[in-house]
């Protein structure tokens, strides 16, 4: 294990690396947005189970999304994107035949010519539980820790609200609850996992858009799903956060998206800040050495006293 792999890059056994022995397999989420119907049952189930407080009842004027973004009191966030179909570079015919439970498709009754040129993307966002978690790297109290399931959780009795994790997260997930002072985020229902249950959001999801399970298994399932969608002509289907070669060493919660990540408010190429840490310390070391030298020279000078 090189220092590089400890700060960034692929890491096979995250829980083992954190010191857990005889731990269960790494668990995670695969959120297949192609079957998300935007019901927000995940948001509600999360709030109910985790007793997450209300965080502002606003009408944001953004489609059906009045949650806005993930935050200290929103651990699942369903994004709604209304858009005209994007031009697909390969010029493949656009498929509308998403393999869904057997319902009649909108417009079927009246004929294809009446369908509008429009699509709706819905996606339930969540903490990515990164292989190399920036929040965990920078937490100076040890409040954030890596669980035996490979997930990342804040211990609320330890967090002193320093706010470093908030600035560190490349996905803008974790935030400080202002009236409380501490940082909060998705725990991947650590308590439920301990009890052998699946997380509340996955349990509540009616279309299995949110799938929970061992990460290896989810990756296989996701690869098969992408192949299936590509076969059906949905060439824009792509996985996000699944690759261990990405900037955070792969996410524990990854996604199947139907457009570029930034369309959903996700960073296109997030990188864990610690990747550059040795380089940053080298520059700081040079600046520190210059300061020490300058002070010595200032006193050594033969000039006026």
Partner 1 sequence: MTANRPRRRGRSDDGSREAPMVPRADFTSYYGRPVLKAPVWTDDIAYYFFLGGLSAGSSLLAAGADLTNRPALRRGTRVASLASIAAGAVFLIKDLGRPARFHHMLRVAKPTSPMSVGTWVLTAYGPAVGAAAAAELLPRSWRQRRLGRLLDGLARPAGLSAAALAPAVASYTAVLLSQTAVPAWSEAHEALPFVFTGSAMASAGGLAMIVAPVSEAGPARRLAAFGALVELAASRRLETGLGLVGEVFGTGRAHEELSRASTLTAGGLLGALLLGRRSRTAAVVSGAALLAGGWYERLGLLHAGVASTQDPKYVVVPQRERLDARGRAGAADDHLA
- Chain residues 170-189 in contact with partner 1, contact rule CB under 8 A: 170-176, 180-183
C-beta of 279: minimal distance to partner 1 in Å? 7
DSSP state of 261: G
Told to check if 294 binds partner 1 by CB under 8 A, we report yes
C-beta of 226: minimal distance to partner 1 in Å? 17
Residue from 89, 101, 196, 268 that binds partner 1 (CB under 8 A)?
268
Kindly indicate which of the ranges 49-57, 105-113, 230-238, 264-272 contains the residues binding partner 1, using the contact rule CB under 8 A: 264-272
Question: How many residues belong to the site for partner 1 (CB under 8 A)?
Answer: 78
- The smaller minimum CB distance to partner 1, of residues 73 and 211, is found at 73
Considering only residues 67 through 86, tell me which ones interact with partner 1, judged by CB under 8 A: 68-69, 71, 79, 81-83
Look up residue 219 and give its two tokens: 């990756």
State the Cα–Cα distance between residues 77 and 248, nearest whole angstrom.
21
Name residue, tokens 């929040």.
135
- The smaller minimum CB distance to partner 1, of residues 185 and 219, is found at 185
Handedness of CA 247, 253, 254, 260 (dihedral sign): negative
C-beta of 298: minimal distance to partner 1 in Å? 4
Our CA angle for 97, 100, 105, nearest 5°, is 55
- The smaller minimum CB distance to partner 1, of residues 97 and 179, is found at 179
Told to check if 51 binds partner 1 by CB under 8 A, we report no
Look up residue 85 and give its two tokens: 């179909």
Considering only residues 92 through 121, tell me which ones interact with partner 1, judged by CB under 8 A: none
Our CA angle for 11, 76, 132, nearest 5°, is 15
Considering only residues 201 through 260, tell me which ones interact with partner 1, judged by CB under 8 A: 260
- The smaller minimum CB distance to partner 1, of residues 22 and 268, is found at 268
State the Cα–Cα distance between residues 107 and 115, nearest whole angstrom.
6
State the Cα–Cα distance between residues 81 and 65, nearest whole angstrom.
9
Residue from 108, 160, 223, 228 that binds partner 1 (CB under 8 A)?
160
Residue 62 pairs in a beta bridge with 65
Told to check if 10 binds partner 1 by CB under 8 A, we report no
Q: What is the largest CA-CA distance in the chain?
A: 95
Nearest to 29 by CA among 188, 175, 249, 167: 188
């Amino acid at each position: 294990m090189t220092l590089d792999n400890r700060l960034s890059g692929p890491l096979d056994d995250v829980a083992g690396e954190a010191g857990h022995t005889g731990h269960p397999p790494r668990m995670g989420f695969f959120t297949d947005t192609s079957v998300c119907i935007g019901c927000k049952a995940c948001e509600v189930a999360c709030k109910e189970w985790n007793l997450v407080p209300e965080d502002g009842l606003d009408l944001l004027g953004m489609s059906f999304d009045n949650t806005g973004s993930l935050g200290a009191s929103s651990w699942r966030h369903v994004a709604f994107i209304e858009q005209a179909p994007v031009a697909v570079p390969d010029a493949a015919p656009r498929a509308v035949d998403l393999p869904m439970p057997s319902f009649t498709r909108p417009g079927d009754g009246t004929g294809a010519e009446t369908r509008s040129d429009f699509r709706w993307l819905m996606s339930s966002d969540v903490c990515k539980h990164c292989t190399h978690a920036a929040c965990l790297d920078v937490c100076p109290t040890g409040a954030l820790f890596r669980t035996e399931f490979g997930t990342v959780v804040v211990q609320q009795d330890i967090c002193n609200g320093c706010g470093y994790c908030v600035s560190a997260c490349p996905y803008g997930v974790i935030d400080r609850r202002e009236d409380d002072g501490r940082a909060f985020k998705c725990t991947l229902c650590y308590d439920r996992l301990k009890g052998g249950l699946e997380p509340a959001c996955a349990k509540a999801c009616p279309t299995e858009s949110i799938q929970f399970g061992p990460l290896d298994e989810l990756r296989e399932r996701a690869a098969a799903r992408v192949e299936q969608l590509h076969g059906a002509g949905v060439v824009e289907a792509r996985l996000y956060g699944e690759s261990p070669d990405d900037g955070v060493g792969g996410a524990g919660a990854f996604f199947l998206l139907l457009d570029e990540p930034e369309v959903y408010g996700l960073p296109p190429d997030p990188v864990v800040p610690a990747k550059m840490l040795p380089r940053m310390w080298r520059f700081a070391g040079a600046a520190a050495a210059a300061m020490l030298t300058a002070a010595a020279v200032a006193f050594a000078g033969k000039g006026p006293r």
